Amino acid sequence: MSRLLDRFLRYVQIDTTASDSATTYPSSPGQLVLGKLLAEELRQMGAKDVEHDDHGLVWATVPATNGKSKPVVAFNAHVDTSPETTGKNVRPQMLAKYPGGDIVLPADRTKVIRVTENPELAGLIGKTLITTDGTTLLGSDDKSGVAVIMEMANHLLEHPEIPHGPIRILFTCDEEIGHGIDHVDLGKLAADVCYTLDGGGHDEIDTETFSADLAVITVSGVNIHPSIGKGRLVNALRAAGTLLDRIPRAGMSPETTDSRQGFLHPYTVEGGVAEVKIKCLLRDFDTAQLVVKAELLRTLAGEVEQDHPGTKIQVQVIKQYRNLGDGLAKEPRAVAFAQEAHGRLGRQARLTIIRGGTDGSQLTERGLPTPNLSTGEHNPHSPLEWTCLEEMEDARQVLVELVQVWGESRK
Ligand SMILES: [Zn+2]
- Nearest Cα to 181, choosing from 172, 190, 191? 172
User: Of residues 80, 192, 203, 206, which has the active-site annotation?
Assistant: 80
| Distance between Cα 347 and ligand 1 center (Å) | 24
Active-site option among 175, 331, 385, 401: 175
What is the whole-number distance in angstroms between the Cα of residue 175 and the centre of ligand 1? Answer: 7
Q: Which neighbouring-strand residues pair with 91?
A: none
pLDDT of residue 411: 82
Q: Is 385 a catalytic residue?
A: no
- Who's near 266: CB < 8 A, 6+ residues apart? 244, 247, 278, 279, 280, 281
Per-residue pLDDT of the chain in tens (411 residues, 90 and over written 9): 799 999 999 999 999 999 989 999 999 999 999 999 999 999 999 999 999 999 999 999 999 998 778 999 999 999 999 999 999 999 999 999 999 999 999 999 999 999 999 999 999 999 999 999 999 999 999 999 999 999 999 999 999 999 999 999 999 999 999 899 999 999 999 999 999 999 999 999 999 999 999 999 999 999 999 999 999 999 999 999 999 999 999 999 999 999 999 999 999 999 999 999 999 999 999 999 999 999 999 999 999 999 999 999 999 999 999 999 999 998 999 999 999 999 999 999 999 999 998 899 999 999 999 999 999 999 999 999 999 999 999 999 999 999 999 999 988
Residue 362: alpha-carbon gap to chain centroid: 11
Q: Could you give the 3-state DSSP secondary structure of residue 391?
A: helix
Which pLDDT score is estimated for 183?
97
* Predicted structure pTM score: 0.90
State pLDDT tens for residues 290-317.
Answer: 999 999 999 999 999 999 999 999 999 9
Determine whether 80 is an active site residue.
yes
- Burial tier of 394 (Cβ tally within 10 Å: 0-12, 13-18, 19+): buried
Q: What distance in angstroms lies between residue 369's CA and the mean position of ligand 1's atoms?
A: 18
CA of 304 to the centre of ligand 1 (A): 40
Q: Give the whole-angstrom CA distance, residue 126 versus residue 242.
A: 55
The alpha carbon of 78 and the centre of ligand 1 are apart by a number of angstroms equal to 7
